Amino acid sequence: NAGVMQNPRHLVRRRGQEARLRCSPMKGHSHVYWYRQLPEEGLKFMVYLQKENIIDESGMPKERFSAEFPKEGPSILRIQQVVRGDSAAYFCASSPPGVPTRQYFGPGTRLTVT
Amino acid sequence: SQQGEEDPQALSIQEGENATMNCSYKTSINNLQWYRQNSGRGLVHLILIRSNEREKHSGRLRVTLDTSKKSSSLLITASRAADTASYFCATDAGTGNQFYFGTGTSLTVIP
């Protein structure tokens, strides 16, 4: 059973471009979470999704950021018009249905905005 | 407000010594978890302790939880150079939806 997959592992974007980060949860997991980690800091919750539903987006910036978890395919975190402050590691985690406590983390995507 | 503040921020010890890290949090929790993160890598789950548990062991790891003081400690015994990493505690604040992570303790084990 493969773990949580994230791609790309590293992404470089110029200011104003769009960044798309993908997350494939573990097989059988229907809950997906996105976290952001700034340098020298802990992880900050962004959004919690189930298939086709956003359950909790209290940690998402109000503008430029969006997330989806379609019925088929990976979860996508989309950042429009990136700025230097978006440079961070973005981690995805997944958990099985009915058991949100234990979250399994992916290796992360490191976004650099130049 | 942020949950899970680790102390110390950085710790450097000799191989073979024990390492103790502490975590304090602010509101009621269901669970507290400890994670390890090697430089530039993802998080590895170490151990989960429930709010009705006081102590838990896993190999060289020992975790304690004091809900009256809203604090937890992680003890790594007989440390190894491979234990060098950042260690984070994470709490769920009762919601189960999201984890609140602290800023972590950076542990360096000197061979």
Residue percentage of chain A with pLDDT more than 90: 72
Count of all residues that appear for chain A in the document? 114
Strand-by-strand arrangement of the A5-7 sheet: A5-7, A19-24, A75-79, A65-68
Is the Cβ–Cβ distance between A79 and A71 less than 8 Å?
Answer: no
Task: Indicate the Cα dihedral angle A42, A48, A50, A51, nearest 10°.
Answer: -90
User: Average pLDDT for residues B40-53, to the nearest whole number?
Assistant: 89
> In the structure, what pLDDT confidence band is assigned to residue B1 with cuts at 50, 70 and 90?
very low
Is B43 in contact with A100 (Cβ distance < 8 A)? no
Q: CB-CB: which of B31, B42, B90 is closest to A106?
A: B42
User: Average pLDDT for residues A2-12, to the nearest whole number?
Assistant: 92
- Nearest chain B Cα distance for residue A101, angstroms: 6
> A94-108 burial, b if ≥16 CB within 10 A, otherwise e?
bbeeeebeebbbbbb
* Pairing between β-strand B10-14 and β-strand B105-110 as defined by DSSP bridges: parallel
**Cβ of B104 under 8 Å from any chain A Cβ?**
yes
> In the structure, what pLDDT confidence band is assigned to residue A42 with cuts at 50, 70 and 90?
confident
> In the structure, what pLDDT confidence band is assigned to residue A20 with cuts at 50, 70 and 90?
very high
Is A55 in contact with B97 (Cβ distance < 8 A)? yes
User: Average pLDDT for residues B76-100, to the nearest whole number?
Assistant: 86
Judged against a pLDDT cut of 70, whether residue A107 lies above it is answered with yes
User: Average pLDDT for residues A60-86, to the nearest whole number?
Assistant: 95
Q: Choose from B24, B39, B43 for mutation: most chain A CBs within 10 A.
A: B43
- Nearest chain A Cα distance for residue B71, angstroms: 18
Judged against a pLDDT cut of 50, whether residue B65 lies above it is answered with yes
User: Average pLDDT for residues B69-73, to the nearest whole number?
Assistant: 94
Chain A residues whose beta carbon lies within 8 Å of the beta carbon of residue B24: none
**Cβ of B42 under 8 Å from any chain A Cβ?**
yes
Judged against a pLDDT cut of 60, whether residue B110 lies above it is answered with yes
Judged against a pLDDT cut of 70, whether residue A85 lies above it is answered with yes
Q: Which token pair is A51?
A: 């298939």
User: Average pLDDT for residues A54-58, to the nearest whole number?
Assistant: 90
Judged against a pLDDT cut of 80, whether residue A1 lies above it is answered with no
Is B98 in contact with A45 (Cβ distance < 8 A)? yes
